Structure 1
Amino acid sequence: MPIYEYRCSSCGTQKDVMQKLSDAPLTKCPECGKETFAKQLSAAGFQLKGNGYYATDFKNKPGSCEASPCASCPSAGAHS
């Protein structure tokens, strides 16, 4: 289940809440009781470590595409 970050715009209370994707968002603040409790936009809380996707698929190797165009580059070696 994902953890959502909520904040009350009235009293400033912040709270992390574990909810199902199908659960309705909370609106009532647990501290002041007003209907001003809302989800906040926050960064994902995970990291890709080890010999997984990042190390093998996304990490640029020095001089791989920059030195000469390769077939796997969508813009044939024109990197920004």
Structure 2
Amino acid sequence: MHKFLAELGLELVWYKYLTSTGSRTSLPGAEFGKFAKEKLPKQLYMNAILQQYFAQKYQSCYTLDDYVILAKK
């Protein structure tokens, strides 16, 4: 996150990680993975960011979690 913000010329002030894990119904992991690959589009722009700044090694078909980020110049 720091590298990403630095490239934008911003300084991190505060961030909060948000997740919907506790509020959604669950599918078994393999079943959800199959559903995501078959039904959800690849996140082309997010994948590039996740790979470059967060060292993610795989292609995501969905994004369930978010960050709220407050930064300043």
Between structures 1 and 2, the one with greater helix share: 2
| Greater RCO, 1 or 2 (C-alpha within 8 Å, sep 6+) | 2
Which TM-score applies when normalising by structure 1? 0.18
Kindly name which structure, 1 or 2, has the bigger radius of gyration based on alpha carbons: 1
